[in-house]
A and B are shown apart, each in its own frame.
Chain A
Amino acid sequence: MRKMSLVLSVLVILSLLFSFSLVWAQEGASELEIKTADAAFEAADKGNPDPAWKGQKLTIGVYSAGPRGAISGPLYFWRPYFEKLTGATYDIVEIPFAELREKIFTDLMTGTGTYDIIVGPSWFYGDYISNDWIVPSDKYLNDPRMPKWEPASILPPLQELYSWGGKWVGFNNDHDGQVLYYRRDILNDPKWQEEFKKETGKDMPVPPKTWDEVYEITKFFHGKDWNGDGEPDYGITMHLKVAGQGFFHFMALSAPYVVAPAPGDDPNKVTRYHNVYWFDPETMEPLVNTPGFVEALNMLLKLSKTGPSAMWGWSLGEAWDAFLRGKAVICFSWGDVGSLSQLPDQSSIKGKLGVAPIPGSEKYYDLETKQWVEKRNFVANTVGASWHGVISKFSKNQDLAAYFLSWQATPPINHWNVVWGWTGVDPGTLYDLLQPTGKSTIEEYVATGYEAEDAKQFVNAYEEMWYKYPLKQSYLRIPGTPEMWEIWDIHLSEAVTGQVTPEEALNRTAEDWNAIIDRLGREQLKKIYQEAIGYKPE
């Protein structure tokens, strides 16, 4: 009996402690956050909220990262403001990342309608559209009740991601793409530049513009004690573990080898052979085993040998950590690295961050002529999730859901989320870019804790990639995308770990993708794919 009392006492104490912490949770934000958020709230357009919304409640499904975590964090942060604005509120349902698809698709497939809003990844679009599961945002753009956001401010490659068939489907929020991070202090150090020249006979290219230049640098630094800790350090760090999102690395790396500019006046024109990355839009035959991909995979293998072999088993956290604590001279990844590098408990490289747009290639493969073109090629990517909200067709309160998402998409609120890096909302609009191209100032980033030069490098790298790069890589938005990526991930790992040759790994991928396409319906997928990439058969 005494023991049972002990058990109950412990449980009661734990419950009380955690319940009391509800009060503390609401005080988690800093004074500066509150002050700047208040200003953003005042500045944001508020539309004309319908009085009938008072007392109503929405449910938002989002991946699980907590009240101060990436993407879910802002939902918690802005809730009291939304309540003040509309008299309505919302529940936040956090879903673990690995189970996101099952949970959301089960809900949509069965028409359960638990979630009014889904803040999900862009690779769900194929299923959203083909199953008619979401209400396009286009419907609300001119609704006088809705706060005005600026679709035109979103940078061009991301505009495509947020729209379908020329119409807006999602509401602006996050912007993902991979860029190159490097150690500015090391690559600009005259001592290392001199050593590089002595060893290679060339000047060190800072920042590296192509993957060949990246390789030269990582090869030079790998195994040297360039950070002075008495131990050999790494050239590059990557997350190459199966299910560790390693295939996104390959996506960003391979794009310039594969995506060819269209001849004529408009290099961005999508033809059967130009500005295509995934499939032949006429046949839905995968391009994944064409020579451009093979060349890129060989480059990935070369690069992987200039980092620790342990990274074959690394996922995001481990890979980023090696760069953030100063063990790797280069990594390429999402905007998260830029914001994490400024956090003292995770990073030792604040003030030393160099960022460049994703490198290009020295040549690309022309699918039409079936020949290599010896010319530098630069291709912007929107690799990643670009987490943003869509409205479920099964929502009983679609207008209120649209109001919330429109309000969150307004420039002041969206930009506030971007400059406060903990939100996981990455830059991707004109008002995030620095003047003169954009509307933002470096002071806005410095005020939230960024080191000025780091922030400048970070934002300008995205500006150059999304605003100035001549070409862009299309995003895969067809049903079956998650399954295809999973298979690709496995076969890429087979190549990286030396089980099969790059050609074999990519042939296997193509074979498996063809099986999926046949299973889901080649003609139907072809139609969706053509729409998704804006291809019009001639």
Chain B
Amino acid sequence: MSKKRHRIVETLLWIVVVIVVLWVVSPFYWAVITSFKKPADVFRLSSIPWVQFRPTLNNWQTEFNQRGPEITRGLLNSVTIAIGASVFAVFLGSLAGYGLARHRYTKWRNQSMSFWFLSQRFLPPAATVIPFFLLMKSLKLLDTQIALILVNTTFVMPFAVLIMRDMFKELPVELEEAAWVDGCSRWQSFVRIALPLAAPALVATVIICFAFAWNEFLFALVLTYKKASPMTVVIAGTEHTQGVQFWYVSTRLLLAIIPPTILALTVQKYIVRGLTMGAVKG
């Protein structure tokens, strides 16, 4: 490649990178500046604080003063539900994934079972919301975190099963066979050999399941009233008969992205390792 052509390609690449960065960053920037605008400034095309509008802390103060307990409760509920559902789903998903990776089932073939798990993701949640409501009502679990942990587990488990199945398939079975020779039972080889080796994928799966459970809205809305309502419902509460209160939407969504962002940053090396595991075969 000539030097001139190389420079053109590089420039184009930079342009693409800048566009992508702007594309990704602009919603966050919008949220940040909107949270510091007076309602009257929100609808104007202004994006530079102190130049085009005078920033104010009013929205944040109002949120702390008037919605503090609700937002705290929403954040804690979201954390509890997302962690509960992801841990539960990964626990069950690891067992199911291991079974599918290591055993060959004859009556219901492995592929059929995998597809059945996957099909749970195809199911529109709206189709199951009323049955779930009636079920939770009968179990007296309406407006509890347990109800949402159970429902979210149902919906995120297919990811856990399929990711963990592939992960266990990639692990050399010889490692476990050696452990059996040394006297380990099947369960012990699973717990002591397979699971530790699958740690990066486990973490990545937890993060994916966490993200889905964190963002879930429909079931949260229908199955909770107040005590167990997560942040998604709290954010939706900014729309009312006087229109969407964009200034509160932005404060709440900034608060809502803090926990998953910190969690993702904390474990990002596992995510990359977990998701790319098995991508390159020797």
> Measured between C-beta atoms, what is the minimum distance from B37 to chain A in Å?
10
In the complex, which of the residues B44, B79, B143, B240 contacts A64, with contact meaning CB atoms closer than 8 Å?
A: B240
| Chain B residues within an 8 Å CB radius of A102 | 221-222
Q: Please give the distance in Å from A370's CB to the nearest CB on chain B.
A: 38
- Among B136-169, those with CB < 8 Å from A are 137, 142-143
Which residues of B224-282 have CB atoms within 8 Å of chain A's CB atoms?
A: 225-226, 233, 236-246, 255, 258-259, 262-263, 265-266
The answer to whether A103 has its CB under 8 Å from any CB of chain B is yes
A68 within 8 Å of B (CB atoms) = yes
Q: Which residues of A contact B222 (CB under 8 A)?
A: 102-103, 106
User: Bound state CA distance, A66 and B134, in angstroms?
Assistant: 29
Q: Which of B64, B241, B263 has the most CB of A within 10 A?
A: B241
Query: How many A-B Cβ pairs are below 8 Å?
Result: 148
Q: Does B65 make an interface contact (CB < 8 A)?
A: yes
CB of A21 closer than 8 Å to a CB of B: yes
Distance between Cα atoms of A404 and B137 in the complex (Å): 27
Are B68 and A21 neighbours in the complex by a CB distance under 8 Å?
yes
CA distance A20 to B233 in the complex (A): 22
A6-36 CB mask vs B (1 if < 8 Å, else 0) is 1100110011011111101100100000000
- CB of B76 within 8 A of CB of A15, answer yes
Least distance between B226 CB and chain A CB atoms (Å) = 5
Q: How far is the CA of A346 from the CA of B243 in the complex (A)?
A: 13
Partner pick for A318 among B43, B75, B142, CB 8 A cutoff = B43
Residues of A within 8 A of B71 (CB): 18
**A3 and B241 within 8 A (CB):** no
Inter-subunit contact A63/B240 (CB<8 Å): yes
Give Cα distance in the complex from A10 to B257, angstroms: 12
Q: Binary interface profile of B, 204-216, with partner A (CB < 8 Å = 1, else 0)?
A: 0000000000000
Tell me whether B58 is interfacial, beta carbon within 8 Å: yes
> Per DSSP, are chain B's interface residues mostly helix, strand or loop, or mixed?
helix
Supposing A64-B240, A96-B233 touch, asked if A347 and B40 sit within 8 A by C-beta, the answer is yes
Q: Decide if B133 is an interface residue (CB 8 Å cutoff).
A: yes
For residue A199, CB closer than 8 A to chain B, the reply is no
State in angstroms the CA–CA spacing of A18 and B75 once bound together. Answer: 10
Among A7, A103, A324, the one with the most B-chain Cβ atoms within 10 Å of its Cβ is A7
CB <8 Å contact, B137 and A110: yes
B233–A317 CB distance below 8 A: no
The verdict on A28 contacting B65 (CB below 8 Å), with A70-B241, A70-B242 known, is yes
User: In the assembled complex, which residues on chain A have CB atoms less than 8 Å from the CB atom of B38?
Assistant: 345-346
- Which residues of B have CB within 8 Å of A362? none
Number of interface residues of B (CB under 8 A): 48
Min CB–CB distance A148 → chain B (angstroms): 29
CB–CB B40/A22 < 8 A:
no
Q: Does B67 contact A (CB under 8 A)?
A: yes
Q: For the complex, give the distance between the alpha carbons of A347 and B66 in Å.
A: 22
Are A96 and B262 neighbours in the complex by a CB distance under 8 Å?
no
Bound-state CA distance A7–B266 (Å) is: 8
Known: A67-B67, A102-B222, A348-B40. A14 touches B75 (CB 8 A): yes
Query: Does chain A have a CB within 8 A of B69?
Result: yes
Give the residue of B226, B241, B246 whose beta carbon is less than 8 angstroms from that of A424.
B241
Q: Check A114–B225 contact: CB distance below 8 A.
A: yes
Whether A94 pairs with B67 at a CB distance below 8 angstroms is no
Among B226, B236, B237, B241, contact of A71 (Cβ-Cβ < 8 Å): B241
For residue A93, CB closer than 8 A to chain B, the reply is: yes
C-alpha gap A330/B71 in the complex (Å)? 38
Q: How far, in angstroms, from A68 to B236 measured CA to CA in the complex?
A: 17
A336 within 8 Å of B (CB atoms): yes
A112 within 8 A of B: yes
- The bracket for how many chain A residues form the interface is 35 or more
Q: Is B130 in contact with chain A by the CB < 8 A criterion?
A: yes
Question: Is residue B72 contacting chain A, with contact meaning CB distance below 8 A?
Answer: yes
Does B99 belong to the interface (CB within 8 Å)? no
Point out the residues of chain A lying under 8 angstroms from B134, CB to CB.
110
Question: Contact partner of B259 among A7, A28, A94, A96, CB < 8 A?
Answer: A7
Interface of chain A residues 294 through 323 with chain B (CB within 8 A): 315-318, 320-322
Question: Does A11 contact B75, Cβ atoms closer than 8 Å?
Answer: yes
B237 adjacent to A112 (CB under 8 Å): no
Q: How far is the CA of A68 from the CA of B68 in the complex (A)?
A: 13
Among B40, B262, B263, B265, point to the contact of A325 (Cβ < 8 A).
B40
With A19-B69, A24-B68, A97-B239 as given contacts, are A106 and B133 in contact (CB-CB < 8 Å)? yes
Contacting pair B242 A336 (CB below 8 A): yes
B55 within 8 A of A: no
Q: Which residues of B contact A64 (CB under 8 A)?
A: 236-240
Say whether A480 faces chain B, with CB atoms less than 8 Å apart: no
CB neighbours of B225 from chain A (8 A)? 59, 93, 114
- What's the Cα separation between A267 and B255 when bound, in Å? 58
Q: Please tell me if the beta carbons of B241 and A63 are within 8 angstroms of each other in the complex.
A: yes
A385 interface contact, C-beta 8 A? yes
Query: In the complex, what's the smallest C-beta–C-beta distance from A41 to chain B, in angstroms?
Result: 22
Chain B residues, Cβ within 8 Å of A66: 66-67, 237
Q: Which residues of B contact A114 (CB under 8 A)?
A: 142-143, 225
- Residue ID in chain B nearest A2 by CB atoms: B266
Residues of chain A having any CB pair with chain B under 8 Å: 3-4, 6-7, 10-11, 14-15, 17-22, 24-25, 28, 59, 63-71, 91-94, 96-99, 102-103, 106, 110, 112, 114, 315-318, 320-322, 324-325, 336, 340, 345-348, 385, 387, 424
Known: A24-B68, A114-B142, A317-B246. 20 other contacts (CB 8 A): A18-B69, A21-B65, A25-B65, A25-B69, A63-B240, A63-B241, A64-B240, A66-B66, A66-B237, A69-B240, A94-B226, A110-B137, A112-B137, A315-B243, A320-B242, A321-B40, A324-B40, A336-B241, A336-B242, A346-B38
15 contacts between A and B (CB under 8 A): A3-B265, A10-B262, A17-B64, A21-B69, A22-B68, A67-B66, A69-B240, A71-B241, A96-B221, A99-B221, A102-B221, A317-B242, A317-B246, A424-B241, A424-B242
Q: Lowest 10 CB-CB distances: which A-B pairs, in order?
A: A21-B68, A317-B243, A64-B237, A18-B72, A316-B243, A18-B68, A96-B236, A3-B266, A321-B43, A65-B240
